[in-house]
Amino acid sequence: MIPLHHFAALILTCLFAAGCGGSSDPRELVNAGNTELGSGNHKAALDKFVDAQTALAGKTDDPLYHAAKLGAIDARIKLDAKTAAGEFLEYAKTAPSKVRDSDFIDISGKLASANATPEALRVVKAGAETYAASEKMKAQEQRIVELAKQRAAAGDEGTKSALAGLGYLGGK
């Protein structure tokens, strides 16, 4: 007969192993992250995307790394929009060949939808500077700036400050 404390330790070990026995396949982790994101479980999605980046062991040229990186940023928007915007802008600087105008458009739109207007302005401004010839980027900039002006007029001082600081109020 197994002593009770040994049995309890065995059960806990099995439960721990089952909980930690998730996939280390980056594609599966990215897919799982997207599923969690679609379900609104942003923390679990973030964890999956970070695990995928870790599983890729610094292979930043792998398209899955890009998907995992953007997925993590997307998940982080609902958790900490300021950090998400900063992470995206840093990624855009360090991997300019990977980040497209559509990525700036997507992330700035998601930030705006999350009521993180100052962060959306920072991202859209950087995108407009990086992709000055992109008509889609110009249109997104106009949409975000118009939304920001509406929010500033409604009393959002942080957005008003961001508009002025980024030069969208013409020095006013």
Q: Sorting pLDDT into bands at 50, 70 and 90, what band is 23?
A: confident
Instruction: Using the CB atoms, write b or e for 140-172: b if 16+ within 10 Å.
Output: bbebbbebbbebbeeebeebbebbeebebbeee
Residue-level pLDDT at 58: 78
Short-list 143, 131, 141, CA closest to 166: 141
Joined together, the tokens standing for residue 23 give 């996939």
Q: pLDDT tens for residues 55-82?
A: 998 798 999 999 999 999 999 999 999 9
pLDDT at 12 over 60: no
Q: pLDDT tens for residues 44-62?
A: 999 999 999 999 987 989 9
CA 80 – CA 72 distance, rounded (Å)? 11
Under DSSP, the state recorded for 62 is S
Q: pLDDT tens for residues 78-111?
A: 999 999 999 999 999 999 999 999 999 999 999 9
CA 125 – CA 54 distance, rounded (Å)? 30
pTM of the model: 0.83
Q: How many CA atoms lie within 13 A of 86 on its CB side?
A: 4
Indicate the domain borders of the chain: 24-79, 81-172
Residue-level pLDDT at 22: 62
